[in-house]
């Protein structure tokens, strides 16, 4: 069974460019969560999605950030007009439909904004 | 909102026992999780408590008291490879995890 897959693993963008981060959940998992980890800090929840639905986006910055989980294909976290403060590790996690199950994390995408 | 508190760093020697405490204040509770994270890597699941009491899994045990908003992770027979950050996380009613800042455990020879 393949685990949660994220790509790219490392992404370098200049200020003002767009960053697209992809996440493929584990087989059979229909829930996807995105978290951000700034250097030397804990993980912060960003958004929770199910197929074609955003369930909770209370952790997403109001501007420049968006997320989707289409019927086919991976979940995408999109950051427009990146700034230096967006440099962080972005982790995706997935879980099966039942609430009691743990979330399995992908290896993360390390975004560096120059 | 939610508040998750855990110590920043703990140091212990190989073979010893270390207990990492976590206190939380939440507006919804659907379980408490402990994850291990080595530097530059993804968090890996260690334990899950939703009812009061102790859950034991090999060298790792986790305890929960819902009335006190308190949990601990106990690491026994410490090994050098246990040097990592340990993250306490509370799952809310919607399913998302709220993480503490993590406790860096340093194991010395």
- Show the 3-state SS of chain A: CCCCEEECCEEEECCCCCEEEEEECCCCCCEEEEEEECCCCCEEEEEEEECCEEEECCCCCCCCEEEECCCCCCEEEEECCCCHHHCEEEEEEEECCCCCCCCEECCCEEEEEC
Mean residue pLDDT of chain B comes to: 93
> B43–A43: do the CB atoms touch at under 8 Å?
yes
If one compares A1 and B101, the residue with the highest pLDDT of the two is B101
Query: Which stretches of chain B sit within 8 Å of chain A by CB?
Result: 30-31, 33, 35, 41-45, 48, 50, 87, 89, 91, 94-102
Question: How far does A72 lie from chain B, in Å, by closest CA?
Answer: 23
> Given this model, what pLDDT does residue A98 score?
67
DSSP B80: G
> Given this model, what pLDDT does residue A48 score?
94
> Given this model, what pLDDT does residue A96 score?
83
> Given this model, what pLDDT does residue A99 score?
56
> B96–A56: do the CB atoms touch at under 8 Å?
yes
A95 contacts in chain B (CB < 8 Å) = 95
Looking at the complex, does the CB of residue A35 fall below 8 Å from at least one CB of chain B? yes
> Given this model, what pLDDT does residue A35 score?
96
Q: Are B35 and B67 in contact (CB under 8 A)?
A: no
- Residue B61: pLDDT over 60: yes
> Given this model, what pLDDT does residue A57 score?
94
Three-point CA angle B84, A84, A25, nearest 5°: 55
DSSP B17: -
> pLDDT tens-digit profile of A93-104?
998 876 557 889
> pLDDT tens-digit profile of B16-48?
999 999 999 987 888 999 999 998 899 999 999
If one compares B109 and A28, the residue with the highest pLDDT of the two is B109
Looking at the complex, does the CB of residue A104 fall below 8 Å from at least one CB of chain B? yes
> B94–A56: do the CB atoms touch at under 8 Å?
yes
User: Who among A99, A100, A107 is closest to B42 (CB)?
Assistant: A107
pLDDT tens over chain A, length 114 residues: 579 999 999 999 999 999 999 999 998 888 999 999 988 788 999 999 998 999 999 999 999 999 999 999 999 999 999 999 999 999 999 988 765 578 899 999 999 999
> Given this model, what pLDDT does residue A100 score?
58
Structure tokens at B13: 């020697």
């Amino acid at each position: 069974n393949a685990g949660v897959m994220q790509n790219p693993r490392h992404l370098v963008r200049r200020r003002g460019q767009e960053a697209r981060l992809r996440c493929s959940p584990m087989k059979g998992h229909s829930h996807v969560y995105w978290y951000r980890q700034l250097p030397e800090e804990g993980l912060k929840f960003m958004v929770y999605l199910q197929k074609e639905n955003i369930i909770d986006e209370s952790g997403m910055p109001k501007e420049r950030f968006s997320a989707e989980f289409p019927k086919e294909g991976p979940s995408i976290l999109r950051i427009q007009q990146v700034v230096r403060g967006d440099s962080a590790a972005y982790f995706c996690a997935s879980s099966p439909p039942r609430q009691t199950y743990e979330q399995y994390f992908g290896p993360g995408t390390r975004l560096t904004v120059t | 909102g939610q508040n998750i508190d855990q110590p920043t760093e703990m140091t212990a020697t190989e073979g010893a026992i270390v207990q990492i405490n976590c206190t939380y204040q939440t507006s919804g509770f659907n379980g408490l999780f402990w994850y291990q994270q080595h530097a530059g890597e993804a968090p890996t699941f260690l334990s899950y408590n939703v009812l009061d009491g102790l859950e034991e899994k090999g060298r790792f045990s986790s305890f929960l008291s819902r009335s006190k908003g308190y949990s601990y992770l106990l690491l026994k027979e410490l090994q050098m490879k246990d040097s990592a950050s340990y993250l306490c996380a509370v799952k809310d009613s919607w399913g998302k995890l709220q993480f503490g800042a993590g406790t860096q455990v340093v194991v010395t020879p």
